[in-house]
Chain A
Amino acid sequence: MTDRQPSGEELARLQALMAVPLSRRRLLQRAAGLGALAVIAPAAAACGTAASPSPASSPSPTAAPQPSASAGASTPAAPTAQPTPQPKPEAELFVYNYADYIGDTTIADFEAKYGVKVTYDFFDTYDTMTAKIADGHSGYDVTFVTSVDVPGFFKNGLVQPLDLALIPNRANLAAEWANPGYDPDNAHSMPYMWWTTGVAYDSARVSGEPTSWKTLWDPAYKGHLAMLDDYRETFAAALIQLGFSANTVSDTELDAALALLQQQKPLLRTYTADDIGALASGDVWVCHAWAADARQAMAERPTIKYYLPEEGAIRGSDTMVLLAGAQHPIAAQLFIDFMLDASVSAANTNKTGYMGPNEAARTFIDPSILSDPTLNPGEAAIAKLQELLDLGPDLAKYHDRWSKLRAGA
């Protein structure tokens, strides 16, 4: 649910120019921000800010630039014959994903194994992707959808049910992912990666070891606090702090959350779409942030730390879906199955830093990731996490209040 959308062309140019690590989400903002950072930071340092560490000087270990064979436009070939349910894949496959959200050799390995030619395109923002697939003729077979959107996408006819017989690797999923609340029995989606949303802070600026959402309301850091420019996440932070469900549809609870956020607004520097940039630049000392983003910010500013607030926090996940109108459904589902292979899934995690839902993959995952509480919180922490659910028409209750919050004086 990103908000800004510069063109894909701009993005591609940026990527080529800067060779900047692009994360799974909000890649545009990040890319542009860090890119500009990388170019200008040395000059800034030379201009008398030499004392501060140059945040862009060392690339994030999780994200070396990845060759993008097919970044940019892709026109799907003419449709092949209507598939019949047999495990012989079609000759081609069109996959649409965030940049740098897959293992280095995953696509090539899949092509080698099944003899399918894969066209792998990136989208710059989540909104671009949803706009592109909205009419059902995007030409893509597989894309990556945030779990909360799965029911809505299915109801709107954007995705089609999966043929689980083609996806035997589903057996690798941890029990909690085999029957998730947003999509019982994985009927329309297969989980890909998950993450948490919590609080990141700069330990050089913040005294003690904060443990609560309340740090984001601390007047001591006025002008250096930031919330995510994402209304579900931001309302969740307030709702959880108040002891309510992050998926509440109660007007009184939501009004209480709005009041809490309105009280916080004058303290805030910004509602940011670029939590990495906000933290890495040093402008923001306490930031509502996604875990993997916090990890990237740490690479640039080592004093950054991340925690899941004691009141509870949000866990979210991305899923792989078979798009309605897919011309290559067999290959698509074989691809989804391939992604659930233990070693393939582990390779993806090792590359991106995101934990997958794949129980069988754990043995192949880099121990440093498994032992990092930022990326792989313990059982107790996970137990306190809530998942954002599709609220249907009640979502408007959130957005109306969000508009009021943003519009208010």
Chain B
Amino acid sequence: MMRGRLREGALLFPGISWLFVFFAAPLAIIFVVSLGQRDAYGGAVLDKGLSFANYLRALEPSFLPTVANSLKYATATTLLAIGISYPIAYWISRHGGRRKGLLLILVMLPFWTSWVIRTYAWMIILRDNGVLNGVLQATGITHDPLILLNTDFAVVLGMTYGFLPFSILPLYVSIDRVDVSVVAAARDLYSSPGQAFRHVTLPLTMPGVIAASLLTFIPAIGDFVTPDILGGAQTTTIAKVIQSLFLSARDWPFGAALGFLLILATVIGTVSTLRILRAEVIG
């Protein structure tokens, strides 16, 4: 008994150390820094007394619009990514045949190019004299160039594009695990293709949908590069504010406080989402 328990402990050790070194410890450091003060040249000072003053600053209403922006982009990105990924993943799983592996590699292919370069490519497409406006004007759909770059549209587009593989892969895995005969059974039991999807395939792939949503929403809420490159003056996100607090303002304690709150909100949101969904799935 004792030995079994010891062995279990030994097996858990690498995982727990990993979590500690790469999650708990940095989080603790962020939290401690967030209690400190900024010194004149950008250092974090902890010996002048610790306080929650930075958290009070973080809760100022002036940050609400960026939080709202972040939530807006992350939500829109997640919905779009799931909406686009599901049919793709479904098609690969059901009709990919022997080419499934190849198709999945194609999904991952954009990752072989630097993410920044791919995002810049969207700039070329979206700007006033860009490809998209060129097409719109050439086909007579618009006369003057539309302002596409530096807008909410561009940010959501760029994020959706960037996070698509993160939603396709978990969806593919969960769709591929659904026994086709279960869908056939639904058809046999008087379901149209749409009803079979709604009552069987979708509930059975819900874990994949949740995984894909989390894998899209969480990075999207922390993304500052896309809003920075494709966004404009009106698209500041909370992550961008944090990033500029760390890098250009060198106000680490305040940045740490905002960052800690963001992580906290993400963790609480994720855990409660999973709780609710698990309760629902198990019934």
Do A and B share a direct contact in the complex (Cβ within 8 angstroms)?
yes
Partner of B116 from A10, A223, A281, A396 at Cβ < 8 Å: A10
Partner of A4 from B62, B138, B225 at Cβ < 8 Å: B225
A37 to B127, CA, bound (A): 11
**A270 and B232 contact, CB distance less than 8 A:** yes
Chain A minimum-CB-distance residue to B240 = A406
Contact A49:B114 (CB < 8 A) given known A36-B123, A40-B121, A269-B233: no
117-134 of chain B: CB within 8 A of chain A: 117, 120-121, 123-125, 127-131, 133-134
**A40 and B233 contact, CB distance less than 8 A:** no
CB distance from B128 to the nearest CB of A (A): 5
A40 to B126, CA, bound (A): 12
Partner of A3 from B135, B149, B244 at Cβ < 8 Å: B244
CB distance from B17 to the nearest CB of A (A): 26
A5 to B234, CA, bound (A): 22
A14 to B116, CA, bound (A): 10
Chain B, residues 231-272, CB within 8 Å of chain A (1/0): the string is 111101010110111011101000000000000000000000
Q: A402 near B: Cβ within 8 Å?
A: yes
Chain A, residues 172-211, CB within 8 Å of chain B (1/0): the string is 0000000000000000000000000000000000000000
A396 to B57, CA, bound (A): 13
A403 to B120, CA, bound (A): 25
Q: B150 near A: Cβ within 8 Å?
A: yes
Complex interface: chain B residues within 8 A of A2 (CB): 248
**B121 and A43 contact, CB distance less than 8 A:** no
Q: A85 near B: Cβ within 8 Å?
A: no
**A399 and B236 contact, CB distance less than 8 A:** no
**A407 and B232 contact, CB distance less than 8 A:** no
Chain A minimum-CB-distance residue to B233 = A268
Q: A231 near B: Cβ within 8 Å?
A: yes
B contacts with A: majority SS: helix
Q: A48 near B: Cβ within 8 Å?
A: yes
**A35 and B120 contact, CB distance less than 8 A:** yes
Partner of B233 from A44, A270, A402 at Cβ < 8 Å: A270
**A271 and B129 contact, CB distance less than 8 A:** no
CB distance from B34 to the nearest CB of A (A): 16
Contact A3:B241 (CB < 8 A) given known A48-B137, A152-B41: no
Q: A88 near B: Cβ within 8 Å?
A: no
Partner of A281 from B129, B228, B229 at Cβ < 8 Å: B129
Complex interface: chain B residues within 8 A of A265 (CB): 233-234
Chain A minimum-CB-distance residue to B121 = A36
A399 to B247, CA, bound (A): 11
**A44 and B128 contact, CB distance less than 8 A:** no
Complex interface: chain A residues within 8 A of B63 (CB): 403, 407
Q: A367 near B: Cβ within 8 Å?
A: no
Chain B, residues 168-196, CB within 8 Å of chain A (1/0): the string is 00000000000000000000000000000
**B131 and A40 contact, CB distance less than 8 A:** yes
Q: B75 near A: Cβ within 8 Å?
A: no
Complex interface: chain A residues within 8 A of B241 (CB): 403, 406-407
**B147 and A223 contact, CB distance less than 8 A:** yes
**A37 and B124 contact, CB distance less than 8 A:** yes
Complex interface: chain A residues within 8 A of B248 (CB): 1-3, 127, 230-231, 399
Q: A266 near B: Cβ within 8 Å?
A: yes
A14 to B243, CA, bound (A): 24
**A266 and B134 contact, CB distance less than 8 A:** no
A41 to B138, CA, bound (A): 16
Which of A14, A36, A265 has the most chain B CB atoms closer than 10 A to its own CB? A36
**B123 and A33 contact, CB distance less than 8 A:** yes
Q: A32 near B: Cβ within 8 Å?
A: yes
**B128 and A127 contact, CB distance less than 8 A:** no
A226 to B232, CA, bound (A): 9
A5 to B243, CA, bound (A): 11
Complex interface: chain B residues within 8 A of A277 (CB): 123
CB distance from A43 to the nearest CB of B (A): 7
Contact A49:B123 (CB < 8 A) given known A399-B248, A404-B62: no
- Could you tell me which A residues sit within 8 Å of B by CB distance? 1-6, 10, 13-14, 32-33, 35-37, 40-41, 43-44, 47-49, 52, 127, 152, 155-156, 223, 226-227, 230-231, 265-266, 268-271, 273, 277, 281-283, 392-393, 395-396, 399, 402-404, 406-409
A-B contact pairs, 6 of them (CB 8 A): A281-B123, A281-B128, A281-B130, A283-B150, A392-B41, A406-B240
